[in-house]
Structure 1
Amino acid sequence: MHGKKVMLFMLSSVIAAGLAGCGGSDSTKGDARSGEPTKPPAASNEPVELTIVTTAGHTPESFDTRFGNSLRKKFPNYTIKFIPNSAIKFADLVATNTMVDIVYAAVNDFTNGPLKSGMVYDMTELMKVHGVDPNKVGMNWVQGLSPVWEGKLYGLPIGIETLATFYNKDIFDKFGVAYPKDGLTWDDVFDMNNKLTRVDQGVSYVGLVVAPAQHFSLNALSLPFYDMQTGKMSIVTDEAKWRAIFDTIAIRPMSALGYKEKTASLKALPGEANFYKTRDAAMEVGLVHIPLSYTEMKDMNWDVTTYPSFKELPGGGAQANLLLFGVTNMSKNKDAAMEVIKYLYSDEYQTISARDGNYPAIVNEDRIKQFAQNTYYKDRNVQSVFKAKLAPLSKRTIYDPDLATIYRKYMSELALGNMDMNTMMRKVDEEAQQKIAQLKSR
């Protein structure tokens, strides 16, 4: 066990020991005579205050829209407090003894925040007592997170995020190119990219932009960054597959006449702002929730279709990024906190969230039909985002947030031909190994 894990274990143990004698509800303590966990206390009208924090950049308004309003309606006797990340740095929460009952974040942020801060709590017994089945999520998420969570359950997926293909119909119409269809492949995308990348009336258009960060962490080939057992980077052990990903993100777009010049002028690969803001990109392969994130898209003539599949994986999509909610080890109201998370995991809330345009953690035919029906874009091809089969979750490690940055560090140099593939892959491997050695020494 390296230094970071020892420190994390000691911090968690100290906090847990300090809280062992505290009051508050914890149904997992059980009956000392029988060794069986007790049932959760019956629903009570007694007031309970729960504080929720996140590593995400959510404002109080966006929190209320997605979670807070539904929670306060469901639990009128609970006072739901939300501390935005802008109000206090996540790393300071433990140091300032700020009481937190629930924390939520996407996978890498969950690792960087609550896990590394020692705030996590193994919810395995809480889930059993409260009748929560983690396997209702139809993917291998428990196995994928097992290496970094060491077999424990520190959170529960409330929603997921994945990738789809968005396109600006006005640009397609302008240049007489047929719209992309469900089931498209990367070959189809690059064919359209070649037709749509051009300069017209002084405007430099590109056919395609991708979200590089997500295409690494949610890659469709289910590649991890690091193998904990061998101590090697997968960029070495799965070199051919990583070459395919780098080729897709950085090299193949450059085959379109004018794309490299656009990249050089921006000093970076064209990104999603070119799609929704400056509107000089015809397609974006990006996160499903971007219509909710960018209000600029409301007056844009866009539609959506499936994630492009690799020809070796017909119909295959990207991985899912899990939005995890977890009870903290400092909470004095663990049962109440678990009931809140249980509700967010329930059929009732999953349907509410899906209707609001959030990809649900638990997918069924009814939720697919109801997806985004409360949004301004309900009449578009929104059900298509479910047609590509989600790729299996790659095995995650505590190092992933740092490694993800290194893996995509040289994308612009590779795209512009300033660095060849072999050199880039060697540098990524060397820098990633150095980063892990540095993290282990802390």
Structure 2
Amino acid sequence: MPKLTGAGCSAAIALALLCGCTDVPAGTQPEAAKTKDSGTAEQASADNGLFIYTVWPAFYAKEDIFEKQIGSWIRKKFPDIKVKHVHWDNPGRQYKDLIAAGTIPDIIMDNTRMNAYRYLIANDLQYDISPLVKKYNFDTGTLNPAYMAQLRSISPEGQLYGLPFTNSDFVLFYNKDIFDKFGVDYPKNGMTYDEFYELAKKLTRVEGEITYKGYSQNPGHYLNYNQLSLSPLSQEEDKANMRDPGWTKAVDNLRRFYEIPANQFDTVEKFPEGNIAMAVATVDRIATFHEQNKNLNFDIVSVPSFADAPNTSYQPNLYSMFIAKQSAKKDLAFQVMASLLSEEHQTELSREGVIGPLQSRTVQEAFGQNLPQMRGRNTGAVFASRNAMPPAARAEGLLWYDVPLHNVFAPLIFKESKDSVTAVRMIEEQSTKAIQEMKAASK
């Protein structure tokens, strides 16, 4: 466990809200939501005040969820601290609003891949916590290495601007009744895409008016968090770069599933309706799928992997904690962050179905224990694969652009029947044009 010297709402609802969060297209912000502050502005500015600003996860818009997962823990371990919590809202509680009002948070929680560069760094809020890591003897080696690599990829110099908090990871759901109906053996952890493709062909059938789809997966998520560690942006220039043959490999790999007759793409949200045999979705769906159909006979296994990259899951879908450069309470903020990553607290969160960064058997074995929806499920699938490493940091000063990778499949492949090479090239060209327009506008 990390070493530090010195000093709700039901979990099912929290997981359901997380589900909604993960399906928001990359590049958008959480829906506006009114929150009740856990303190006052005066308390936040006092010597014993700590101002925490949450953007993602979106479910922290619900104050009771923030209180259950974060607020109550801080008060228990740091009884003298007065916590003020504000969640992102539009209008009035965006980064620009807090900055304009001179109310800079001490701790910021946000999506690492999506927002750290374009909001944290763009607003000059980033702060290298490496000296604090050393000062408080915090062992980052106990944390998921892919999470840490994603945090370090924010800075071309490898500076560490924050610590990972939670990850919205993926698993493969399968409908046992469909497997039983067609006499097909259940999938297992560690299977490849080729093996799942063969299962999908066996399980995709039309019987009268009922179509059974063998496999479903969100193409945007599949490409954004791809298992081949590919970046759609150039590492050295302000442009998109999808010339790596891995992009075509990844697109062709998923495309074949949707070229199985009768297995045309359908949203994974329809899995609870009972006609989809297998669907890749975020872990929180264990709770929401059960709530939507309590008679659904399903279980989970680890996501498919490429044969030449076995047991490799997706790049982190990571939410991290950052200390603002302008904070006058950096030491206190770091101690709070370190405490939130203690084995004790991470075990508490794991029992509620939250995936944290601490690589501890105790934490992993506790996963979902407090949630009746997860009893009897193969929760070991959540940790059966390692996360793919994210791309390396880009050169300093480059613009960040959220390449619309979901458009590779829809509309270019699904509606316009483009070949994979053409679809990838078109997205690259469209994105480069958009980046150049952004660059021109910024001048």
1:334-373 alignment, distance < 5 Å = 334-373=330-369
Distance verdict in 2 for CA 1:395–1:141, change over 3 Å: farther
What residue in structure 2 maps to residue 280 of structure 1?
275
* Matches of 1:110 and 1:232, distance apart in 2: 19
Q: Partner letter of residue 130 of structure 1?
A: Y
Query: Secondary structure of 1:402's match?
Result: coil
> Which residue among 226, 230, 235 is the counterpart of 2:233?
226
> Which residue among 321, 324, 327 is the counterpart of 2:323?
327
Number of equivalences: 387
Q: Partner letter of residue 54 of structure 1?
A: V
Contact 1:288 1:385 in 2 (8 A): yes
Per-residue deviation, 1:142: 4.6
What residue in structure 1 maps to residue 51 of structure 2?
50
- Computing the radius of gyration from Cα coordinates, the structure with the larger value is 1
What residue in structure 1 maps to residue 252 of structure 2?
247
Q: TM-score, normalised by structure 2?
A: 0.78
* Matches of 1:320 and 1:428, distance apart in 2: 23
Query: Secondary structure of 1:235's match?
Result: coil
Pair 1:391 & 2:383 matched:
no
After superposition, the C-alpha distances for 1:383-419 in whole angstroms (9 at most, x for unaligned) are 12212232222225587963432x3213123135522
Q: Partner letter of residue 148 of structure 1?
A: I
Instruction: Compare 311-320 and 169-178 and name the one that shifted more.
Output: 169-178
What residue in structure 1 maps to residue 203 of structure 2?
196
Contact 1:165 1:286 in 2 (8 A): yes
Contact 1:183 1:308 in 2 (8 A): yes
After superposition, the C-alpha distances for 1:221-251 in whole angstroms (9 at most, x for unaligned) are 1112223236664411x1x2111211233x2
After superposition, the C-alpha distances for 1:243-291 in whole angstroms (9 at most, x for unaligned) are 1211233x2122322123xxxxxxxx42221224x44322221222333
What residue in structure 2 maps to residue 290 of structure 1?
285
Contact 1:55 1:113 in 2 (8 A): no
Per-residue deviation, 1:428: 1.4
What residue in structure 1 maps to residue 13 of structure 2?
none
Per-residue deviation, 1:322: 2.5
* Matches of 1:274 and 1:95, distance apart in 2: 43
After superposition, the C-alpha distances for 1:265-324 in whole angstroms (9 at most, x for unaligned) are xxxx42221224x44322221222333566635723221101111112222222223221
What residue in structure 1 maps to residue 117 of structure 2?
111
Contact 2:343 2:363 in 1 (8 A): no
* Unaligned segments of structure 2, at least 5 residues: 1-43
Query: Secondary structure of 2:69's match?
Result: helix
Distance verdict in 2 for CA 1:231–1:52, change over 3 Å: closer
Contact 2:221 2:406 in 1 (8 A): no
Contact 1:399 1:436 in 2 (8 A): no
* Unaligned segments of structure 1, at least 5 residues: 1-22, 26-45, 261-268
What residue in structure 1 maps to residue 133 of structure 2?
127
Distance verdict in 2 for CA 1:367–1:135, change over 3 Å: same
After superposition, the C-alpha distances for 1:197-240 in whole angstroms (9 at most, x for unaligned) are 2344534332211133332232111112223236664411x1x2
Contact 1:355 1:373 in 2 (8 A): yes
> Which residue among 72, 75, 78 is the counterpart of 1:72?
75
Distance verdict in 2 for CA 1:194–1:74, change over 3 Å: same
